[in-house]
Every structure is written in C-alpha cells, then in structure tokens.
Chain A
Amino acid sequence: MRSITRTVLAVIWAVALLAGGYAIVLRLTQGHRPAAYGSYVVWGLGVAQYIYFVGISAGAYLLSTLYYAFGVKKLEAVARPALLVACVGLAAGLFSIWVDLGKMGRVFSVFFRPNFQSMMAWMIWLYTAYGVLLIITGYLALKGDRRVRTAAIIGVPLVVSFSGGVGALFATLEARPLWNTSLYPVFFILGALLSAAGLLMLLLALQDRETPAVAEALAVLGKSVLLLLALDVLLEWAEYSVGLWYGVGGEQAALKEILFGSYWWVFWVVHLLLGVAVPALLLFRGSQNRTNQAIAGFLVVATYLAVRLNLVIPGLVTPELKGLETSYTGTRLVFTYSPSLFEWGIFAFAAAVAVGLIWVGYRYLPVTTSGSRKEEKTA
C-alpha cells in the first residue's frame, strides 16, 4: 500500500477514534439521551452494529474451522487472520450491546439471575462459552498445537448455535411479523459467513507478503463470496416475494418500508448495488486481481451493516395498533428513526478500536505465518 494511502487511512482512523471516544464519553455522562431511537423504535444502530460485529466473528470462526477442523489446505493462509477477526469481532459486538443497555452496570446479572426461557439469556451464555473456546482455539492455533482441531470441531456447533441464535432472538417474537420467520436464523448464519469472508478477503488482499498460499486462499475466498452473495440474494428473494406476493398480511408494511420507504436507497443502492452487484462484477471480471479483491471485500463487509440495519429497524417502524402513531406523541413516541451523530460515533469508536486491534494483531502476533512448520515440529 502506498504511503499516502496509509496516511489518509491513518487520519480517518484517528478521527473515527476521537469522535467515537467523545460519543462514549457522552454515553457515560448523558446516558441514552443523545440517541435518536425512542420508545417505539426502541432498537437502533447500536443493536444493528452488535449483530454486525458478532456476525463477522461467527463467520470468521467458521471459516477458520474449514482449515483447522476440516483440513481445507487452500484456506491455510486465512485461518489465523480469521481467528484474530473472530476475537476482535466478538469484543466489538459485546461492547456495542453493552453500551446499548439501559443499565450498563447490571450487565453481569445475566449470569447471576438468568431466565433460560429467554433467547437473550441463551445468547449470553453461548457467547461466554464461545469466548472461552475462542481464546483456547487462538492459543492452540498460535502455538501450532494439534489439539486445535478438537477445539475447532467443538466450535462449529457452538458457533452455528449462537449465530443462528441471534437470528432466533428476533425470529421468536411473534409480535413482529417481519422478524417472525424461520428464515431469520439461517439468514444470520449466511450473513455471518458472507461479511466475514468479505473482511478476510480484504485483509488478505492488503497483506504485503504475496505468497502462493495467500493467492490460493484469496481465490477460494473470492469464489466463496460469490456463492454466499448468490445465496444471500436467494434468501432475500424468498423472504420478500413470499411476504409481498398477495399484497396482504402483517409483513407487508415492513417489507414495503424497506423497498420503497424513505430509506429505499439503503436496500437498493447500498446493499444491492454496492454490496452485491459491484463486488460480484469485480470478482467475475478479475478474480485474481488484488485490487479487485480488496475493493470487493471492502464493499461486501462495509455494506453489510446496511443489511443488519434493514433486519432490525423496519421490524419496529410499523405500529402494533393502528392509530397509535398519532395517539400520544413526542420525540420518543414516534415510529420513525434515523441514527443520531452520537450513535454513529459509538459505531465509529467500536469500528476504529476493532480495526486498531486487528492492526495490532497483525503486527505483534504471528498471524500471517503458517503454523504448519511448528505443527510438524510438535508432531
């Protein structure tokens, strides 16, 4: 990467960190007051960014298991970076949801007084188990210990459970027709894989060392991204066409809001054009080209936040009872939502710290070197 590009990126990163840091200070001193969500659209960008980051974590872990558990040699170069991304993604996701809580100081009560009827309680316990396993897997992978295979095999069902579980957290709510679909858990697992594959493709394409292993991994990632993009669009078609086909039903309003509402461009331009069509075209036309791979990877991972936003927000913008939107109103009692600068600041902070941690990981951990030589020694 040219030094001028590095400088520009470093400046953007520093601005994001500083602005985000200010947002965190606001969160600690002013609570939820600077946020734009309200009592009806009660989840906003914070929840969307949480599922975005934990999705990347889950997807990255699953991609790493392709090498560690299933021995796909072509993905060797991606295995360690994937574990690093999984760690950072989990940390960023849990941080995002922690600052989104109304009572941050009570976060640990989920361990002391869990209600296991709640999908959310299950998620918290699964995250804990996953976090422990992730540390073990990462440690064993860096050591080149063969027991990493066992850890990775255990990790597969665990990660599928929590990734699908995040989808189920929404899908089990009968009150929300948009969310209340059995496609949601599947969609979350697929989205996790896609966003993680995009990020890993970007990271590998930006790596200075151009080894055959990296090129091979990039080729596999490119094809994987194409396949996952196709599946993503297929699932979206299934969800949207079924919901809209006869023009009746509870899901109608939310789906129409996504496609033709005031944020129509989030779906059509950010997601479909920039997040699906352009990366697909880049990967079709120049699948071996590093720049194409980097841009495609960046577009896939960056625009996936739009998908996450469209999964969360439209589910809340339709009043449960007709007429409620005009019954007793106020700035917090409306069914519209657009994230405030404060909320974007929280996102910028989490993203900047995540990028910083990945950079530190690349710099100080043996992420880009393969563990196979060490493994041979250990054997």
Chain B
Amino acid sequence: MENEKGGYEAGRREILAKAFAAALTGLAAGAVVAGSGALDTVAEALSNEPTLVPIPNLPPAAAGENQILRMMNDLRRALAKPMEKRHWGMVIDLRKCVGCQACTVSCITENKLPPGVVYRPVITEEKGQFPHVAKTFTPRPCMHCAEPSCVPVCPVGATFKRPDGIVAIDYAACIGCRYCITACPYNARTFDFGEFNDEGGEIPAYDKVASKEYGGSWSRAGDASPVGNARKCTFCVHRIEQGELPACTVSCMGRATYFGDLNDPESLIHELVGKANATRLKESAGTKPVVYYLQ
C-alpha cells in the first residue's frame, strides 16, 4: 500500500517537473524573440508521449467490505434467527448526508405514498452566521422507539410493537382516530386522506399501484385501507423480510444510511451505534428511539 502510494506520488512529481520545464521554456520563448530553437523545444515537449500515472494496486473487492454488501449479509444473518432475537435499527451519518432527498423520494415510490403522507422527510437547517455558516440535513424516519408513545394510546391496539422492534400499524384494524399521530414526539406519523396526484382530473396509473407494506397488498381504490388510517415508516419490513435493505438505505448516494440488527455484535450497525458521536433525537422524550445519528 505504502509503496503504491509512493509510486503514485512520484508520478505526480514527474508531471509537475515536466510542466514546470515546459512553462519555463515558454517564457523563454516569449522573451527571446529571435530564438527559433526555443520554439522547437516547446513543440518537441508537446509531441512527447505523456507519462501515465500508474494505477494504484488496490486490494480486490471483498464481499464483507462494501457497506451495502456487508449490510445485506448482516440482514441475512439476522433473518436466520428467530424474530424475537433480532432488533432492527438504523444509523444515519449526518456528516455524509448531502440533503439530496433521494431517500424521501425512494420511500414514496417504494411505499406508493399519496399526497399528504410522508415517511422520511429530510429536515434542512442553516446554522451559524456569515461567513461561518453550515447547512445540516437530518432525515427523519419513524424512530421505531423501544418505548413508543404511539402504541399505548391506540384505543384498539391497531398499532403495536413487533418482536423484532418494528412499530407496525394494522391497517385492517385502525379506526383513524389519529390519537397516535398526536402522541408521536417526532411528527413521524401522517394521515391518509384518500387523496391522489390527480390535479389533471384523472388518477395516474402509478397512483393506483398497491402498496406492499407489511407484506400485504394495499390498494387504496374505493377509499379502502390505508385510506383513513394513520401511516408511517415501516422500515420497509416487506423488503427486509425478503433479504433486501430498506429503500432509503439502498438509495442513499452518500452512503449515509445504515440498517441492520442491533442485537448482532458482528453487524455494521452495531459497530456504528457504539461510536462516541452516536446520538438520538429528543432523548428527553424517553421513548428510546432505535434510529441513531452520527454527528
């Protein structure tokens, strides 16, 4: 590694030396009007074959080292365990998030979210004063809290915590009282008003596709559930149970979102949660979110 690095630097030095020489030659050519020999030198220098920088000799790509592949392996390992032995969690590295909102959009397309329903908005904040300013981006999925305040308030038990830590909503049971929405300290729940992207008068075909949330097939035609229900991020449980990572995780171009089993000490997410800069939103609420942020 060190050798290759040295070699790469040597190549750079070589190019710089040639460029410097060419520049000096050029200057000399400008200064000495009658010096036709100098012009020949420039032409000679330009016609020379360039010296290519050697390609660094990187180690071969290994399955465990690409973060996405590693997380997929983590996922498969977790799925091999009984459900109650795994606990899904998420880590979002705020230093890597560029605020592109690809996660927001991929979540909308994955879950076929209608207008008025959003599972993962990205909060943008401007900090500091000119000239020392910064913009921070905080994606906010459902926190899938260990002590969720939305679960005990549901009068019919339609929202509940699964053994694997996912806070779920039973669309077939939710009465749409919206008490859970008021109870969430993160505004992470929204209400399905039964609206479509039908500004032109006709419902577009993509709006009619059934959502696969919770492994079901939820078509909203005729105001069927989840219309009239509370809705929120499911951690893409329909994907993870098929060995796929959540849509927000795979669509993150900055590789800022990580997902996995918090109970697995070998998993990437377990490693990240243990970092000193790992924090959670609104710790004072006491809901113990399983979404961590690296700051």
Contacts of B177 in A (CB 8 A): 100-102, 120
Q: Tell which of A100, A110, A172, A326 touches B124, judged by Cβ atoms closer than 8 Å.
A: A326
Q: Tell which of B123, B187, B225 touches A40, judged by Cβ atoms closer than 8 Å.
A: B187
Task: Tell me whether B175 and A39 are in contact (CB under 8 A).
Answer: no
B263 within 8 A of A: no
The CA of A117 and the CA of B115, in the complex, are separated in Å by: 32
A339 within 8 A of B: no
The CA of A288 and the CA of B93, in the complex, are separated in Å by: 71
B118 within 8 A of A: yes
The CA of A321 and the CA of B176, in the complex, are separated in Å by: 24
Mostly helix, strand, loop or mixed at chain A's interface? Answer: loop
B190 within 8 A of A: yes
Interface residues of A in 23-45 (CB under 8 A from B): 31-33, 35, 38-40, 42-43
Known: A102-B178, A120-B177. A324 touches B155 (CB 8 A): no
Say which one of B37-45, B82-90, B191-199 lies at the interface with A.
B191-199
Task: Tell me whether A328 and B155 are in contact (CB under 8 A).
Answer: no
Task: Tell me whether A321 and B140 are in contact (CB under 8 A).
Answer: yes
B185 within 8 A of A: yes
B104 within 8 A of A: yes
A285 within 8 A of B: no
A331 within 8 A of B: yes
- Most chain A CB atoms below 10 A, which of B173, B190, B229, B282: B190
Mostly helix, strand, loop or mixed at chain B's interface? Answer: loop
B163 within 8 A of A: no
Contacts of A236 in B (CB 8 A): none
A330 within 8 A of B: yes
Q: How many A residues are at the interface, by size bracket?
A: 35 or more
Task: Tell me whether A173 and B183 are in contact (CB under 8 A).
Answer: yes
Residue count of chain B within 8 Å CB distance of chain A: 51
Known: A102-B175, A333-B118. A115 touches B152 (CB 8 A): yes
Number of interchain pairs (Cβ within 8 Å): 159
Task: Tell me whether A109 and B115 are in contact (CB under 8 A).
Answer: no
Known: A115-B157, A327-B121. A321 touches B182 (CB 8 A): no
Contacts of B149 in A (CB 8 A): 173-175
Task: Tell me whether B194 and A175 are in contact (CB under 8 A).
Answer: no
- Shortest B59–chain A CB gap in Å is 40
The CA of A100 and the CA of B191, in the complex, are separated in Å by: 13
Q: Tell which of A115, A319, A321, A324 touches B154, judged by Cβ atoms closer than 8 Å.
A: A115
1/0 per position for A98-123, CB-CB distance to B under 8 A? 00111100110110011101111100
The CA of A201 and the CA of B21, in the complex, are separated in Å by: 103
The CA of A319 and the CA of B185, in the complex, are separated in Å by: 9
Task: Tell me whether B184 and A333 are in contact (CB under 8 A).
Answer: no
The CA of A173 and the CA of B148, in the complex, are separated in Å by: 12
Residue of A nearest to B179 (CB): A120
The CA of A183 and the CA of B177, in the complex, are separated in Å by: 24
Contacts of A327 in B (CB 8 A): 121-124, 140
Task: Tell me whether A328 and B118 are in contact (CB under 8 A).
Answer: yes
The CA of A119 and the CA of B149, in the complex, are separated in Å by: 12
Task: Tell me whether A118 and B179 are in contact (CB under 8 A).
Answer: yes
Give A residues with C-beta under 8 Å from B. 31-33, 35, 38-40, 42-43, 100-103, 106-107, 109-110, 113-115, 117-121, 124, 169, 172-176, 315-316, 319-324, 326-328, 330-333
Between A and B, 22 residue pairs with Cβ closer than 8 Å are A32-B228, A33-B193, A33-B194, A39-B190, A40-B190, A42-B182, A43-B182, A101-B177, A102-B176, A103-B175, A106-B173, A114-B157, A115-B152, A118-B153, A118-B154, A120-B155, A172-B153, A173-B182, A315-B182, A320-B184, A327-B140, A330-B116
